Amino acid sequence: MENIVNEIKKIKDVEVKENENLSQYLNFKIGGNARVFCSVTTEKALIKLLRLLNLNETEYYIIGNGTNILCSDLGYSGVVIKLGNRFIGSKIKGKKVFANAGEQLMELNKKCANSGLMGLELTYGIPASVGGAIRMNAGAFGQNVADSVSYVRFFNGKKVVKLKKEKLDFNYRHSLFTDHPEYVILSCCFKLLKGDKETIIQNMNDVLKKRAKNQPYDKPSAGSVFKRDEKFIVSKCIDELGLKGYSIQDAQVSTKHAGFIVNNGQATCKNVVDLIQYVQKQVYESYGFVPQLEIELMGDFDDIAR
């Protein structure tokens, strides 16, 4: 890894840190250190870095807002890549919206609303970057990001390619990119619809109020822990089992929304995983299915019995 670090330092527009604590970059405020942490400010530098890492078969993990990630207490033994400020930004041309991967979804919503464009407004309040939202096909209130995607530009490990929506295998909290973590989203194009600006803004404000009322925005979390089940509303099952407020150390099933686990201050990854496994066991024993994770696990989990 020392040789890799020396090579990375030669790449312009890449800032390198070693043994950087990851909890400060993740919404959950949980996680150990990254062996190598890179802040990348340009697309050219990112592609050079990725080619170097692929050539040397070095594991890497890219983070945007870090909103749906649970990181191991042992950290990450590879290279963590954080997209810098130049990956933020978007342009609107008519009904088409061109957004960089690092653009904040909430900011993009505001820009679209001010231009009288609708199609993403129900995702307002999701604290994700555009790249992360596309990767997980983020959504809420019956609207998914994929509904409005026209195409996505990404680096496939060898070159930059552009694929239309139909070839991106979008499904519930799933896309081509969840199956291929080596594919790195660079930018995308949304195709939206014209609408009334004031109505769009009102809808966005209503969505935000619902989120603030029903979700634990006041505490660190990684968002909704479990995926939706075909037959059951998972959060309702957890609620019916009386597990709201159930804690293991500082990891707690939210008292506001049973689908969330919050960090009450000093929760570790092991606390959260133990709590997840406890909830899964209780749900299975009562309802006959095991809730599947929506959050992503990052790093080395050898310290946790899974």
Residue of 39, 173, 221, 254 marked catalytic: 173
β-pairing verdict for 247-248 and 90-93: unpaired
HEC string of 271-295 equals: HHHHHHHHHHHHHHHHHCCCCCECC
For residue 274, give every residue at least 6 positions away whose Cβ sits within 8 Å of its Cβ, in sequence order, or none. Answer: 248, 251
What is the chain's percent helix, strand, coil content, to nearest 5? 35, 30, 40
**Known active-site residue 103:** no
**Known active-site residue 224:** yes
- Closest C-alpha to 101, from 24, 187, 184: 187
Q: Where do we find the tokens 């942490």?
A: 37
- CA dihedral 37→160→65→253, nearest 10 degrees, is -100
Phi, then psi, of 279 in degrees rounded to 5 = -60, -45
- Closest C-alpha to 152, from 94, 101, 80: 101
Q: CA-CA distance, 207 to 83, in Å (whole number)?
A: 28
Q: CA-CA distance, 25 to 18, in Å (whole number)?
A: 15
- Residue 140 CA, chain-centre distance (Å), reads 14
Residue of 20, 43, 121, 294 marked catalytic: 294
Q: CA-CA distance, 86 to 88, in Å (whole number)?
A: 5
**Known active-site residue 173:** yes
Q: CA-CA distance, 50 to 54, in Å (whole number)?
A: 6
Phi, then psi, of 150 in degrees rounded to 5 = -95, -55
Residue of 72, 148, 224, 235 marked catalytic: 224
Q: Which of the residues are catalytic?
A: 173, 224, 294
